[in-house]
Every structure is written in C-alpha cells, then in structure tokens.
Amino acid sequence: MQLPPNSIELTHGSGEPTHAVIWLHGLGATANDFPPVVPELGLNKTPTIRFIFPQAPNRPITINGGMEMPGWYDIRGVKIEDKQDAVGMAESQAMVEGLISQLVESGIASQNIILAGFSQGGAVTYYTGVRSKHELGGMLALSTYLPFDTHTEQEQSGVNTLTPILACHGTHDAVVPLALGEMSAKTLTELGYSVRWETYPMEHNVIMPQIKTIGQWINTVFEQP
C-alpha cells in the first residue's frame, strides 16, 4: 500500500484485516500522535482492524509566521474564513480518497472504513467524508470544525448522510472554540447527517474517558452488519 512518507500502520487483532481506521493528526504533530491510543480503546478482539496514521507534509503555515511544519492545509488567521485553504484541503482530500481506494482494492469494503481526525485532521475528515464517493463506516471528528460549511450542502455527495459521526470537543478548548465545533455539528445535523455530539472537561487534547467512548463507538460501528 502506498502511504505518505513517515506514515504508520498497525493491526488490531489477528488474521487478515477486514476493517480499517484512517486517523489524521493535527497541525504541527506527526503520525506518532495517535498509535499509542489504540491499546487504550478497549476494542473487541474481532474484527481485525488495520489502523493507518498518515503523516502530513511539511508546509508553510501563515499564522505561525510562515514556519514550515506538518500540516494538512494552511491557516492564515484565527477567524473561520482564515482557516479555510481550498488548495491545501483539496490536496489532503485527494490523499485520503487515495488511501480509501487502496483499502477497497485490498479487499476492505468502504463501509468497513472509519475516517478519523484531530483538529486539522478532523477538518479534513469532515470535508472529505461529506464529499466522498465512498460509503464510509463512520467519521470521528475530534476537537475540530466543518470547513467551508456554507459550501457543504452544494458540494456534498450525499453518500454518507446516514454514516454515523462521533464529534468530541473540549469545553476549555482555546484553539478550536467549543462554539465552532458545536456549530459544525449542528450544521451537519440540519443537513440530515447522524451526528453524536460529546463534550469533555478538557482543552485542545484527548483524555481517557473520551478515549473509552471512542473505543465503544468503534466497537458499535464495526458490529453493524
């Protein structure tokens, strides 16, 4: 399978994977961020799950003085319109769609694939999931927002309207304000998407109670026929 450089793969369970999770890290982070979470999820022994943690390319980030760092797209400022880089987002969308296609070609049905992401990675998850030609098993959006929200209704494929979405956010998040995450979940709900909204007493991070909820949700999504 062709992955971005420095990406990480691991398998939960034994035998040939029948399910998969593509999990995108946040701005300035690396593919190493979320693999340690997998053993803490409390996943069922079956199905066998292939976890893919792609590494974002280094790119100049305007809000950080043009410093190069791992990023899925550029951020120009703190306002929502400054967090929307159409070119960078399209590049990341194409990368994710390519990974989904490769998994399908390997024998994993798209309905058995969860697309997950934290912060910037979560924005790519939202953006790609609503536009994807593939019917996904689920979307996991952590401490994030819906980019280009006013374009979503026109640009959505409609394929994943019934796909379960778990959106989690910290009540003390100073990076992606709680109100922005909440508004994103509301926008998708109003468009007919199945969004489960969860908040936790945390900042821009993940905590153990949230990790346990995520694991239970993955178990439920992957138990469905």
Question: Mind telling me the catalytic residues?
Answer: 119, 173, 204
H helices within 46-119, ranges in order? Answer: 86-105
Compute CA distances 32 → 23, 45, 103, 144, 194, whole Å.
Answer: 11, 23, 21, 19, 30
Integer Cα distance of 172 and 12 in angstroms: 32
Quote helix, strand, coil % in the chain, to nearest 5: 35, 20, 40
| Rama region for 13: left / alpha / beta (φ>0; ψ in -120 to 50; rest) | left
